[in-house]
């Protein structure tokens, strides 16, 4: 039997050396077919290939200009004819159906057939898997095939037999590594998705032919194997977020001393960040680094020693060497909140200023600016103060409208401070800021643009700048797509094309493919620097030493009357939810249930909050409200009341799911924040919830002075949470910051502070810039308590003058709470910090905390059709077990 196999091997391969036969039999694990296949895959210049070359009737495609032979592989074909005899080494002529635009649900047959003679009837076709693999490439005219039989054949219909396929690459298959992939696709007049399919097919073809890989990507799968344990969900859990943001510390970076105009002394880790940022901007590399292969690319060597380069993530192919330095000149500084990202960036601005402008007429006509910093309104005064504190010689201008500054001032200034809102407005009106080519653009609290579809994000994407930086302590807040907006801002091709991002990152994540985390680390490693307060120096010491942070979960009980009314509210909400589920209407009434849920959360803070609404013409006192339910189980009245509460002033915007600091009401009685309502009308001219046609004139501003239908000061009542807060303030002398989501709760807390003669300041989104600055300065100058809206004061502020934090109500996303606490527990804090999270027992608040602790999915995006299943799961989880 062994001799028989050797004879067959020798006849097919023309290799008569028995030692060679034994070698390939061993490699093929004793299987003759496998041995023959491996022989043709690995042996060079073998006699069979020489015989095939002699029988060619046309010049080799490899000999044609620009074509490059990739290699050969053996696969199976299926006979379409009966009683055929085909000689060995017979070159076949292949054919296929071109893909064309067809009617819906119709697809082009992707089989690859071949005949004995040109333009003759097909005698066989390649097997399904091979056809699927090769079709995108031959349909796109990217490769040429040569199909040859291996042995003499006597076959009937549907018989299978082996053929050898030689693949030749055409010039259109290659692209320069720095080329924009979506532009290439457009130039070819093909959909981007087809372009993706072609690259994916080629990547698989390389593996099939077994091309020798001579250089691997610098960051490979083996270096990120720990990510394989992650089980992703649609909304990222805290564990997933943490895992995704690991391994971006750089302990061995040398320290850089800022220039003399920067007067402060940096911590060592801050000086390392300065080194890293300067290197990112100048792309300074050693000669060794500049000759390194780009971290996403792999090198393959063909039989003729020619090299090709393949992007290990996207499948992009190139003949040009992709250098490691070909990256954006900027990046993401993602240090944890409280480590001084602002100071680090100011040191960079001092150390690397915009170059002196060329005085030529050509350049004079262009508008070249310095550094543009885009940030939330609440942080402008803080940045201005930080510039004054840490250095001199830098001109800083604040910009609000074209009326406040002229173009000459903007161009001549070193730094311009503006807000996201102002820049968005400038973008739509083609204002000064969009007419300038900036030396550097910095986004502070860059997660503000995490939703790529907002007008703000789209405006930011268009900024022209030599260097771009994103500062955020929470680059991922909810979903993995939060990172996409940062990548798009940095213009990192091909990832800034959402087709690629969605295909390679988001799709893998949703399919629970942990490879997406490996790819993300490859992508982010060169452009992101992230340290936490737990990070260590090379000597094992912490990078920064802060006082202890103690977080206390305080569980409080509602009083009997309060508990009675809460139970009624909850019972009605649950009954309505159950009815909608039973009738199959829950998907179209999520808004209604969410509003009821919102009222339950507000009631846990104070009963007055469910009385806050802007369209009430008559008033009810709290006593009437309580007595109505304490003495009469009139569910019909309660239902009618809650229907009116749907028009409540204090609500979450159903689009961005943030608290409405500037709420408006549509003619269809839905409450949104003004920004989301305006953007929706500009884009679709309808209500995002019920699709009622809307115009700007259909929006009604809800005034702050009509939040309550009665005088809450004269009819003041305390609550369980207020009682705890007062006890805490009486027991300590520490300055305290109180965060709440509800503007109306701030109103009630203001009255409480006045009644108890406790000095306080207030900060919320409805205040002007000057009011905010005055109130912040008042608190830092000696006021005892700062009452803050979680949305407007939960990020970016420096409140180290306080050492006590009270989170009056829990939020769905623990990252938001963490950000709020970090306003106090940060560099410069000298006291131990205590944070108290207030939670009422046996209420919806306990469910929220339970979801946080279990790292459950968040409710953000509750009104998107794509995540409707998530909404229902969340609602079911809340209404069960209470």
Please report the DSSP string for 782-819 in residue order.
Answer: T-SEEEEEHHHHSSS---TT--EEEESS--S-HHHHHH
pLDDT digits (tens, 9 = 90+) for 589-647: 766 777 778 888 888 998 888 765 433 322 233 333 334 333 334 334 333 333 433 33
Q: Are residues 14 and 95 in the same domain?
A: no
Q: What is the 3-state secondary structure (H, E, C) of 110-161?
A: CCEEEECCCCCCCCEEECHHHHHHHHHHHHCCCEEEEEEECCCEEECCCCEE
Strands (E), 197-248: 212-215
Q: Which pLDDT score is estimated for 2?
A: 60
| Cβ atoms 149, 135 nearer than 8 A | no
Q: Which pLDDT score is estimated for 179?
A: 40
Q: Which pLDDT score is estimated for 575?
A: 86
Asked if residue 276 is part of any domain, the answer here is yes
| Cβ atoms 651, 707 nearer than 8 A | no
Q: What is the CATH number of the domain that holds 673?
A: 3.30.40.10
* Secondary structure (3-state) at 58: coil
- Give CA–CA dist 542/435, Å, rounded: 45
- Give CA–CA dist 874/878, Å, rounded: 6
- Give CA–CA dist 846/850, Å, rounded: 6
711 pLDDT tier (thresholds 50, 70, 90): low
- Give CA–CA dist 39/20, Å, rounded: 9
207: Cβ contacts below 8 Å, ≥ 6 apart: none
Q: What is the 3-state secondary structure (H, E, C) of 629-670?
A: HHCCCCHHHHHHHHHHHCCECCCECCCCCCECCCEEECCCCC
54 pLDDT tier (thresholds 50, 70, 90): very low
Asked if residue 177 is part of any domain, the answer here is no
Q: Which pLDDT score is estimated for 660?
A: 65
Q: Which pLDDT score is estimated for 469?
A: 97
Strands 68-79, 124-126: pairing kind: antiparallel
Q: Are residues 80 and 62 in the same domain?
A: yes
Asked if residue 555 is part of any domain, the answer here is no
Q: What is the 3-state secondary structure (H, E, C) of 831-881?
A: CCEEEEEEEECCCHHHHHHHHHHCCCCCCCCCCCHHHHHHHHHHHHHHHCC
- Give CA–CA dist 588/863, Å, rounded: 10
Name the residue with higher pLDDT: 100 or 392: 392
| Cβ atoms 321, 309 nearer than 8 A | yes
Q: What is the CATH number of the domain that holds 806?
A: 3.40.50.300
Name the residue with higher pLDDT: 330 or 500: 330
Q: Are residues 346 and 227 in the same domain?
A: yes
pLDDT digits (tens, 9 = 90+) for 312-329: 766 678 888 877 655 678
Average pLDDT over residues 499-514: 79
298 pLDDT tier (thresholds 50, 70, 90): confident
Q: Judge whether residue 363 has pLDDT over 50.
A: no
Highest mean pLDDT: which of 63-77, 196-210, 332-346, 656-670?
332-346
Q: Which pLDDT score is estimated for 439?
A: 94
Cross-strand bridge partners of residue 654: none
pLDDT digits (tens, 9 = 90+) for 725-766: 999 999 988 999 999 988 889 999 999 999 999 999 998 877
Asked if residue 207 is part of any domain, the answer here is no
Per cent of the chain over pLDDT 90 is 26
- For the chain, what is the total number of helices (H) and then of strands (E)? 32, 28
Average pLDDT over residues 859-863: 31
Q: Which pLDDT score is estimated for 189?
A: 42
> Looking at 128, 147, 167, which one is the last position of a domain?
167
Q: Are residues 39 and 59 in the same domain?
A: no
Asked if residue 538 is part of any domain, the answer here is no
Q: Which pLDDT score is estimated for 104?
A: 52
Average pLDDT over residues 80-86: 88
| Cβ atoms 709, 744 nearer than 8 A | no
| Cβ atoms 171, 140 nearer than 8 A | no
Number of folded domains in the chain?
5
The mean pLDDT value of the chain amounts to 77
Q: Are residues 583 and 502 in the same domain?
A: no
| Cβ atoms 310, 203 nearer than 8 A | yes
| Cβ atoms 61, 68 nearer than 8 A | no
- Give CA–CA dist 205/733, Å, rounded: 71
Q: Judge whether residue 664 has pLDDT over 70.
A: yes
Q: Which pLDDT score is estimated for 698?
A: 67
Count Cβ atoms below 10 Å from residue 19 Cβ, excluding itself: 6
Q: Are residues 397 and 320 in the same domain?
A: yes
| CB burial string 316-330: b at 16+ within 10 A, e below | bbbbeebbbeebbbb
Q: Are residues 604 and 630 in the same domain?
A: yes
Q: Are residues 502 and 610 in the same domain?
A: no
Plot region of 692 (φ>0 → left; ψ -120 to 50 → alpha; else → beta) = beta
Q: Are residues 295 and 347 in the same domain?
A: yes
- Give CA–CA dist 167/169, Å, rounded: 7
Q: Judge whether residue 136 has pLDDT over 70.
A: yes
| Cβ atoms 152, 87 nearer than 8 A | yes
| Run of H or E residues at 19 | helix 18-27
Q: Are residues 237 and 364 in the same domain?
A: yes
45 pLDDT tier (thresholds 50, 70, 90): very low
pLDDT digits (tens, 9 = 90+) for 231-264: 333 566 556 666 566 666 677 789 999 999 999 9
Strands 212-215, 297-301: pairing kind: antiparallel
Q: Which pLDDT score is estimated for 230?
A: 32
Q: Which pLDDT score is estimated for 772?
A: 84
- Give CA–CA dist 597/844, Å, rounded: 8
Asked if residue 712 is part of any domain, the answer here is no
Please report the DSSP string for 527-575 in residue order.
Answer: TEE---TT-B-TTS-BS-----EEEEEEEE---HHHHHHHHHHHHHHHH
Range of the domain at 796: 720-879
- Give CA–CA dist 99/225, Å, rounded: 39
Structure tokens at 279: 């290197």
Average pLDDT over residues 809-838: 87
Nearest partner of 336 among 825, 835, 813, judged by Cα: 825
Asked if residue 122 is part of any domain, the answer here is yes
| Cβ atoms 815, 401 nearer than 8 A | no
Q: Which pLDDT score is estimated for 218?
A: 42
Q: Are residues 580 and 727 in the same domain?
A: no
- Give CA–CA dist 177/318, Å, rounded: 6
Q: Are residues 685 and 787 in the same domain?
A: no
pLDDT digits (tens, 9 = 90+) for 842-852: 898 888 787 76
Structure tokens at 873: 């799961």
| Cβ atoms 435, 366 nearer than 8 A | no
Asked if residue 183 is part of any domain, the answer here is no
Count Cβ atoms below 10 Å from residue 363 Cβ, excluding itself: 10
651 pLDDT tier (thresholds 50, 70, 90): low
| Cβ atoms 789, 750 nearer than 8 A | no
Lowest-pLDDT range of 105-109, 123-127, 530-534: 105-109
* Structure letter (DSSP) for residue 210: T
């Amino acid at each position: 039997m062994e001799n028989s196999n050797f004879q067959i091997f020798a006849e097919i391969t023309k290799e008569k050396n028995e030692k060679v036969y034994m070698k390939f039999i061993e490699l093929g694990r004793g299987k003759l077919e496998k041995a023959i296949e491996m022989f043709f895959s690995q042996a060079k210049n073998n006699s069979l290939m020489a015989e095939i070359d002699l029988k060619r009737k046309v010049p080799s495609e490899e000999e044609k200009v620009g074509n490059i032979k990739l290699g050969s592989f053996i696969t199976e074909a299926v006979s379409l004819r009966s009683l055929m005899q085909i000689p060995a080494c017979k070159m076949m002529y292949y054919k296929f159906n071109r893909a064309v635009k067809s009617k819906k649900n119709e697809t082009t047959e992707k089989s690859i057939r071949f005949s004995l003679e040109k333009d003759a009837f097909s005698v066989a076709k390649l097997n399904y898997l091979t056809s699927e693999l090769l079709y995108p490439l031959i349909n796109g005219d990217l490769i040429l095939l040569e199909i040859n039989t291996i042995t003499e054949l006597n076959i009937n219909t549907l018989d299978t037999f082996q053929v050898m396929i030689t693949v030749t690459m055409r010039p259109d298959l290659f692209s320069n590594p720095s080329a924009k992939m979506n532009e290439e696709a457009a130039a070819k007049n093909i959909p981007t998705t087809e372009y993706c399919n072609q690259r994916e097919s080629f990547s698989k073809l390389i593996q099939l032919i077994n091309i020798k890989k001579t250089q691997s990507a610098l960051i490979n799968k083996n270096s990120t194997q720990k990510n394989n344990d992650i089980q992703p969900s649609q909304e990222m859990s805290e564990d997933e977020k943490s895992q995704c943001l690991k391994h971006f510390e750089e302990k061995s970076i040398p320290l850089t001393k800022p220039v003399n105009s920067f007067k402060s002394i940096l911590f060592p880790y801050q000086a390392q960040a300065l080194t890293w940022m300067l290197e990112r901007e100048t792309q300074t590399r050693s000669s060794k680094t500049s000759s390194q292969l780009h971290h996403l690319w792999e090198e393959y060597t063909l039989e003729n020693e020619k090299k090709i380069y393949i992007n290990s993530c996207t499948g992009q192919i190139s003949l040009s060497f992709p250098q490691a330095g070909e990256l954006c000149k900027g990046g993401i500084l993602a240090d944890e909140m409280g480590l001084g990202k602002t100071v680090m960036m100011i040191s960079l601005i001092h150390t690397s200023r915009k170059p002196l402008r060329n005085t030529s007429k050509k350049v004079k006509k262009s508008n070249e600016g310095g550094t543009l910093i885009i940030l939330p309104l609440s942080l402008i005064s803080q940045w201005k103060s930080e510039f004054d504190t840490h250095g001199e010689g830098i001109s800083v201008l604040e910009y609000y409208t074209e009326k406040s500054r002229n173009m000459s001032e903007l161009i001549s200034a070193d730094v311009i401070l503006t807000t996201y809102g102002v820049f968005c407005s400038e973008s739509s009106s083609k204002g000064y800021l969009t007419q300038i080519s900036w030396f550097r653009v910095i986004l502070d609290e860059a997660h503000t643009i995490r939703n790529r579809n907002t007008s703000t994000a789209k405006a930011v994407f268009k900024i022209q700048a030599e260097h771009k930086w994103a500062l955020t302590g929470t680059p991922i807040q909810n979903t993995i797509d939060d990172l996409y907006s940062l990548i798009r801002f940095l213009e990192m091709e091909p990832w800034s094309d959402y087709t690629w991002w969605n295909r390679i990152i988001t799709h893998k994540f949703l399919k629970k493919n942990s490879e997406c985390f490996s790819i993300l680390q490859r992508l982010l490693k060169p452009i992101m620097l992230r340290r936490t307060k737990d990070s260590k120096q090379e000597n094992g010491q912490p990078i920064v030493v802060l006082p202890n942070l103690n977080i206390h979960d305080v569980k409080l009980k509602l009083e009997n009357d309060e508990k009675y009314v809460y139970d009624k509210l909850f019972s009605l909400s649950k009954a309505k939810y159950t009815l909608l589920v039973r009738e199959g209407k829950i998907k179209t009434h999520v808004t209604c249930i969410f509003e009821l849920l919102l009222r339950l959360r507000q009631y846990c803070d104070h009963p007055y909050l469910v009385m806050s609404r802007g369209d009430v013409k008559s008033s009810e006192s709290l006593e009437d409200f309580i007595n109505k339910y304490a003495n009469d189980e009139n569910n019909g009245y309660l239902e009618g009341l809650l229907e009116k509460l749907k028009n409540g002033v204090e609500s979450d915007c159903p689009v961005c799911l943030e608290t409405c600091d500037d709420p408006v009401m549509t003619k269809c009685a839905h409450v949104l924040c003004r920004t989301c309502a305006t953007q929706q009308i500009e884009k679709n001219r309808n209500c995002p919830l019920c699709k009622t046609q809307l115009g700007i004139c259909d929006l009604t501003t809800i005034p702050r002075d009509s939040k309550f239908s009665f005088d809450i000061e004269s009819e003041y009542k305390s609550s369980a949470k207020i009682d705890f807060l007062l006890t805490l303030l009486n027991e300590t002398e520490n300055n305290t910051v109180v965060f709440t989501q509800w503007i109306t709760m701030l109103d009630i807390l203001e009255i409480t502070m006045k009644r108890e003669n406790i000095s306080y300041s207030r900060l919320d989104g409805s205040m002007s810039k000057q009011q905010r600055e005055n109130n912040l300065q008042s608190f830092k100058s000696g006021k005892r308590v700062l009452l803050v809206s979680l949305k407007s004061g939960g990020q970016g502020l420096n409140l180290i003058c306080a050492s006590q934090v009270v989170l009056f109500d829990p939020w769905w996303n623990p990252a938001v709470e963490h950000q709020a606490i970090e306003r106090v527990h940060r560099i410069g804090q000298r006291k131990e910090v205590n944070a108290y999270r207030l939670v009422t027992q046996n209420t919806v608040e306990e469910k929220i905390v339970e979801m946080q602790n279990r790292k459950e999915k968040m409710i953000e995006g509750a009104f998107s059709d794509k995540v409707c299943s998530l909404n229902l799961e969340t609602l079911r989880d809340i209404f069960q077990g209470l």
